[in-house]
Structure 1
Amino acid sequence: METTLVLEKEAVENLLPQKFPFVMVDKMYSFTENSLVSGLKIKDDNIFYDDNFFLEAGLIEHMAQSVALHTGYEFFLKNEKAPTGYIGSIKEIEIKKLPKINDTIQSTVTIIQEFAGITLVDIVTTLNNEEIANGQMKTVLAK
């Protein structure tokens, strides 16, 4: 599936609280009120890259930062500074395959429920249109 790039690396990094070398999202392909598609090209300077693979922790962090990007972009559109968010809980993350160096992964975040700064999301990560990871996360905005 060929998708249009909405935001590239520098713009994405400005919307995330994380900074290099901890940034695990470098593209935003689409954004709606209830969803987002993000991407990451895995490079050999990634802190979660080891022995030719992007590790499980990197995939989970990529998923969480994809949620943070949705929040950051939402606040950016309202011309407001995004609050810091935290992973409240992770539910049933399934990792089927680890990507390798120079692979570009994509994650689709779907918001299931949002209330009082707590967001429940479903996330599916793909590599070349093959699902490699999925799960649910709850994120909490700092007050």
Structure 2
Amino acid sequence: MFVPPANTPDLIPQKFPFVMIDHLTWTDDKSSRTQFCIKADNVLVEDGEFSAGGLVENIAQTAAARAGYLAQNSQKADAIGYIGAIKNLEVFSLPKINDILETEIVIDNQIFDVTLISGKVKRGEETLAQCQMKVFIIQQ
């Protein structure tokens, strides 16, 4: 089992107010999980709900946290990732303020600097959104 680092936002390039994960809770060779509590002052909250764009960004930042954690543990230079494509996006429900999201990404394939992932955001047992992403990683 994975024990997360003390300050998960240090694993991603995004900074306040655009951080959409709180804790990296799990990572292994094929998957990573994060948690995120939605606050009222979040820039992607609209009318008391976290937006669909926020759910997509949450998935992307889960992938970024994985990459940051792996880079730190292998003492490699930080990398920057860019979303190259989003495919099969389904948003079933929008979460509300104070909801806790649990997000999992699974690595479907990795070829050189391109990683294909499947991401799923849940609130408890309810799936809120899912998609596939193509992420390009650029080493600094």
Q: TM-score range by the shorter chain?
A: over 0.9
- What whole-Å deviation, never above 9, does each CA across 1:72-99 have from its counterpart, x for those lacking one? 1111110222211100110011000000
Find the counterpart in structure 1 of residue 125 from structure 2: 129
Matched, 1:7 2:4: yes
Q: Any stretches of 5+ residues in structure 2 without a counterpart?
A: none
Calculate the TM-score normalised by the size of structure 2: 0.94
Aligned-residue sequence identity (percent) comes to 34
Find the counterpart in structure 2 of residue 120 from structure 1: 116
- What whole-Å deviation, never above 9, does each CA across 1:39-63 have from its counterpart, x for those lacking one? 1100011000111100111101001
Aligned pair count reads 139
Distance 1:7 1:44 in 2: 26
Aligned-residue CA RMSD (Å)? 1.5
Matched, 1:64 2:39: no
Match of 1:23 among 19, 29, 46: 19
Is the partner of 1:142 in helix, strand or coil?
Answer: strand
8 Å Cα contact 1:88-1:140 kept in structure 2: yes
Letter in 2 for 1:118: V
Structure 1 runs of 4+ with >2 Å offset: 4-8
Q: Give 1:6 deviation, angstroms.
A: 3.5
Q: Structure 1 residues 5, 141: CA separation in 2 closer, same or farther (over 3 Å shift)?
A: closer
Matched, 1:47 2:43: yes
Q: Give 1:124 deviation, angstroms.
A: 1.0
Is the partner of 1:84 in helix, strand or coil?
Answer: strand
Q: Any stretches of 5+ residues in structure 1 without a counterpart?
A: none
Q: Choose 101-110 or 75-84, whichever is displaced more.
A: 75-84
Q: Give 1:11 deviation, angstroms.
A: 1.5
Letter in 1 for 2:28: T
8 Å Cα contact 2:2-2:27 kept in structure 1: no
Q: Give 1:5 deviation, angstroms.
A: 8.3
Calculate the TM-score normalised by the size of structure 1: 0.92
